[in-house]
Structures are given as structure tokens and as C-alpha cells.
Amino acid sequence: MNLTKGFDGLTLDLGRLIASTCRQKILETLSRVQQTHMMDLVRKVNSAYSQVNRNLQILEQEDIVESRYYGRMRMIKLNRENPKTESMLKVLRMLRGSQFGDWKYSFRHARPQE
């Protein structure tokens, strides 16, 4: 198991949690909304129901997301009270910034001036 020290001093298995692009999309989507229902999340993540469900189970085991049922409707939200959640969001922001932000910056500034 690949354990890495988190921002808040907790030991997280970041390799396992960040490895899936589906989990990354789930976390990014949930960070923008207070809560959403399962089918809306599947649509926003642009993935198969079974894949989103499997990745939600992993995130629920880590207590990063919470699911509640209202009749047959499953509502999902981030567990913001868990320090692991904030650590995961910080890691995602850093990853996204280094992958995309730097590229946009260098591309924008590398164009020849007229």
C-alpha cells in the first residue's frame, strides 16, 4: 500500500485515491455543488453508471463522500467535515494547476508577437 503524508498530518493512500480519473472527476464535480443525485453525477462525470458507482463506494469507504437515499433517489455530497476531503481537494487543485495551468501560461506567452 502506497501511503503518503497528507497536508493535515493524516496518512492517506493518495496513489489509490487519485489514480482513477473517474474519482478525480467525481471529486471535482462534487466540489462545485452542495449535493447532486446519482444520475446527474453520472452525466456530469461522463462515465458509465457502474464505474461511477464503484468509485463512489471507494470514496465512501474513505469517508470522503456521503450518500443518502430519499425514496429511490440517491443523493451524494462531499463530507467536508472529514479532513481527508479537504486534503484530496488540495491535491487535485495542485495536480490540475501543474498539468493545465502551466501549459496554458507557457502557450500563451510563447506566441510570437506581431
Name the H helices within the chain: 14-18, 21-32, 38-45, 49-61, 83-96, 102-110
Separation in Å, CA 29 to CA 50, 66, 77, 108: 17, 14, 10, 27
Q: For residue 14, what pLDDT is reported? A: 66
Domain boundaries, the chain: 11-105
Task: Return averaged pLDDT per consecutive 10 residues of the chain, 114 residues in all.
Answer: 44 69 93 94 96 94 94 95 88 73 40 42
Question: What 3-state class would DSSP assign to 66?
Answer: strand
CATH class, 11-105 region: mainly alpha
